[in-house]
């Protein structure tokens, strides 16, 4: 322990030299800071290598920060990355065992405004997945580009799985029919916790309800919650679906394929920010 701690920067530097020598890859354009322009660090753009102590400190610190200010999405992201190692391995293995999931792992699609053909999706008929997703983005004023990049996962493939999980989150909202208010988010978190087993989802699922008012809490506990949990368990792995090729598919059809029941109550997006 002591040698590791005594020369942490030497270890980091050695690590960095090895990385930069061995993997001076074409740096993909990344939305993170300009520091990634040089072959400075990491197994992938945006990667920051961390010692176990740093990961532990990050997990605790980000947990506290996220609890104090739930709107700090970057802290929630960091918490997920530092605590999710085992769950990510599990997810990755599930994806590998699924043929479509395996394709995703090899092709590495990213869901971003630049990769989506918005005009084509808008021209799709109502009830198709693509059209409903676009409607969801418009109604809730969100964009797929607001997801933070993965930084602290020390395996390039697992980092992609994490990134995919983040990008699929909005699609899940569409699939489950949940808006982005607190109740909708908590319902999606319960689904994700049951599906992925990520500790950050579990934490969000447990602590999220604390911020709901009484009537929403009741609706969560009686109908939405059990529905989300049950579907999370029985549904196919949502990360294994190549959504980018299924925009034309009807939403109902997709739900059936994934083994997801339609939501119990249609929460309209007009019910804005709760609590």
Partner 1 sequence: MAAPMRQLVRSVIRLSHRNVNVTAAGVSGRSGCCWGTPSCRCFSDDRSTHFGFETVPEEEKAKRVYKVFENVAQKYDVMNDAMSLGIHRLWKDTLLHVMHPQPGARLLDVAGGTGDIAFRFLEYVRSQQERQKRRATRSMQTPSWQDISNNYSTEDEEGPQESRAVVCDINKEMLKVGKQKADSMGISSGLSWVVGDAEELPFDDDQFDIYTIAFGIRNVTHIDQALQEALRVLKPGGRFMCLEFSKVTNPLLARLYDAYSFQMIPVLGEVIAGDWKSYQYLVESIRKFPDQEEFKHMIEDAGFYCVQYLNFTGGVVALHSGFKL
Cα(76)–Cα(64) distance, rounded to whole angstroms? 10
Cα(7)–Cα(157) distance, rounded to whole angstroms? 29
- Residue 196 CB, shortest distance to partner 1, in Å, is 23
Give the interface segment with partner 1, choosing from 3-11, 153-161, 163-171, 224-232 (CB under 8 A): 3-11
Q: Does 265 bind partner 1 (CB under 8 A)?
A: no
Nearer to partner 1, 20 or 230 (CB): 20
Q: Does 221 bind partner 1 (CB under 8 A)?
A: no
Report the 10 Å Cβ neighbour count for 153: 25
Long-range contacts of 111-114 (CB under 8 A, 24+ apart): 111/144, 111/167, 111/168, 111/170, 111/171, 111/243, 111/244, 112/144, 112/145, 112/167, 113/143, 113/144, 113/145
Cα(233)–Cα(227) distance, rounded to whole angstroms? 10
Q: Does 74 bind partner 1 (CB under 8 A)?
A: yes
- Residue 155 CB, shortest distance to partner 1, in Å, is 19
Cα(100)–Cα(29) distance, rounded to whole angstroms? 27
Which positions from 95 through 154 interact with partner 1, judged by CB under 8 A?
A: 151
Q: Does 5 bind partner 1 (CB under 8 A)?
A: yes
- Residue 76 CB, shortest distance to partner 1, in Å, is 12
Residues that bind partner 1 (CB under 8 A): 5-9, 12-13, 16-17, 20-21, 24, 33-35, 38-40, 48, 51, 53-54, 57-58, 61-62, 64-65, 72, 74-75, 78, 151
């Amino acid at each position: 322990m002591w040698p590791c701690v005594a020369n942490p920067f030497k270890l980091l530097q050695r690590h960095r030299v090895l990385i930069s020598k061995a993997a001076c890859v074409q740096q993909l354009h990344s939305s993170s800071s300009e520091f990634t322009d040089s072959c400075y660090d990491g197994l992938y753009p945006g990667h920051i290598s961390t010692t176990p102590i740093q990961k532990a400190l990050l997990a605790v610190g980000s947990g506290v920060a996220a609890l104090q200010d739930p709107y700090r999405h970057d802290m929630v992201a960091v918490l997920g990355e530092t605590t999710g190692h085992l769950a990510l391995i599990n997810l990755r293995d599930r994806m590998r065992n699924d043929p479509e999931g395996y394709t995703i792992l090899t092709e590495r699609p990213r869901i971003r405004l630049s990769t989506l053909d918005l005009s084509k999706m808008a021209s799709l008929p109502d009830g198709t997945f693509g059209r409903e997703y676009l409607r969801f983005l418009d109604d809730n004023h969100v964009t797929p580009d607001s997801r933070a990049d993965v930084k602290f996962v020390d395996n390039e493939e697992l980092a992609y799985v994490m990134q995919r999980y983040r990008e699929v989150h909005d699609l899940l909202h569409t699939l489950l029919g949940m808006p982005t208010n607190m109740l909708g988010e908590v319902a999606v978190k319960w689904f994700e916790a049951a599906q992925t087993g990520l500790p950050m989802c579990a934490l969000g699922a447990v602590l999220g309800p604390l911020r709901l008012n009484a009537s929403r809490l009741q609706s969560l506990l009686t109908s939405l919650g059990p529905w989300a949990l049950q579907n999370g368990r029985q549904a196919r792995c949502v990360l294994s679906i190549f959504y980018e090729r299924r925009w034309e598919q009807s939403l109902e059809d997709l739900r059936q394929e994934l083994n997801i029941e339609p939501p119990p109550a249609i929460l309209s997006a007009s019910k804005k920010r709760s609590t």
